Amino acid sequence: MDNDILRRRRRELITGVIVLAALAMLPLPIADVYTRNLLIITLLYAGLAQAWNILGGYCGQISLGHAIYFGVGCYVSTLLYVRLGIPVAFGLFAAGAVCGALALLVGWPCFRLSGHYYAVATVVVGEIGYLLFLNWDFVGAATGIYVPFKGESWLALQFRTQKLPYHYAMLAFVAATWIAAWVIEGSRWGFSWRAVRDDAVAARSLGVRVFASKMAAAAISGFFTGVGGALFAQYVGYIDPDSVLAGTFSILIALPAVLGGVGTLWGPLIGAVVLIPVSELSRSYLGGSGRGVDLMIYGGLIVLVALARPQGLVSLLGLRRRAHENAA
């Protein structure tokens, strides 16, 4: 029974390395700036969705307020860079640490609620964060902060025209979140978290510390979401509450994981790869008409997946594998 699992986990790791290598090669033949930008944004969301998945998927705590970690991550690293000159290579760890701590702070009251009540509480927390930053002069309030260009640098992740470095930075982010999820999935923690997700009472009677499990999952999820925010801020060069803390971000972070498959290793990445290009392409080709056709298509796609494959797109892969195993 253990050997099967070890073999499966090794296979997943090998697949992970192959996918990583493929994603590293992907932008090389593409010279088009628009497509490269699309890849970068897709990777960003893949990483953010995986971070969300650690809490929402593995531990089953549906957060609809993750924009607060994303936004605060943006602000922490940007402020460190603008005010103290600390480059993002270090700032992103600070952003992660602050957001991890923030997740604990949010979790302390919110995890006393369960199910839908927890989700509603996170929406409120996200809105509080948005309003706070909108009116806080120290962080630029509604005008936001420009990230000054101080010359090309990997440490500060600043490049005038190149897109490729950002692609690799985001890819590293995706890899880090994926490995975190892979480690969690095979660890004692991962099992405890899934137990909490499926039945908190039964988990408790087996000696699982339910509250502590949720807090740990939230902290790790918050950490990575904050790191993603730090990278994003450096990429776009300008942040304000509307572009990084708005409630819609919370939904956008969760959607790829939900569409791709909640609580699975590959769901968030697959979800992002399908969702983000569709959303971008439909916006550029169909948006702007003022009739919201792009949003209709986008929404329709999600409804379609929810109806046809409620376990997410990743379950399509499972079908083939199961058929294969039955044949063997």
Partner 1 sequence: MLRLEGVAASYRGLKALQGVSITVARGEIVAVVGANGAGKSTLLKAIAGLVATTGAIEFDGTPIAGMAPHRIARLGINLVPEGRRLFPRLSVQDNLRLGAYARRGETDRMKPLDLVFALFPRLSERLAQRAETLSGGEQQMLAIGRALMTQPRLLMLDEPSQGIMPRLVDDILAAITRIRDLGVTILLVEQRLAESLAIADRAYVLQTGRVVMEGRAADIAADDGVRRAYLGM
Contact positions toward partner 1, by CB under 8 A?
A: 1-2, 188, 191-192, 194-195, 197-199, 201-209, 263
Shortest distance in whole angstroms from residue 64 CB to partner 1: 21
Amino acid at 176: A
C-beta closer to partner 1: residue 9 or 283: 9
C-beta closer to partner 1: residue 28 or 201: 201
Amino acid at 309: R
DSSP 107: H
C-beta closer to partner 1: residue 168 or 191: 191
Shortest distance in whole angstroms from residue 59 CB to partner 1: 13
Surface-to-core class of residue 262, CB atoms within 10 Å of its CB (0-12 exposed, 13-18 middle, 19+ buried): buried
Shortest distance in whole angstroms from residue 207 CB to partner 1: 3
Q: How far apart are CA 194 and CA 198, in angstroms?
A: 6
C-beta closer to partner 1: residue 131 or 202: 202
C-beta closer to partner 1: residue 96 or 263: 263
Q: How far apart are CA 35 and CA 18, in angstroms?
A: 22
C-beta closer to partner 1: residue 35 or 311: 311
* Nearest alpha-carbon partner for 222 in 199, 253, 200: 253
Q: How far apart are CA 318 and CA 324, in angstroms?
A: 10
CB atoms within 10 A of CB 151: 8
Shortest distance in whole angstroms from residue 141 CB to partner 1: 45
Cβ neighbors of 283 (< 8 A, separation 6 or more) are: 294
DSSP 130-171: HHHHHT-GGGTGGG-EE----S-BTTTTB-SS--HHHHHHHH
| Token pair for 266 | 């590959």
Amino acid at 180: A
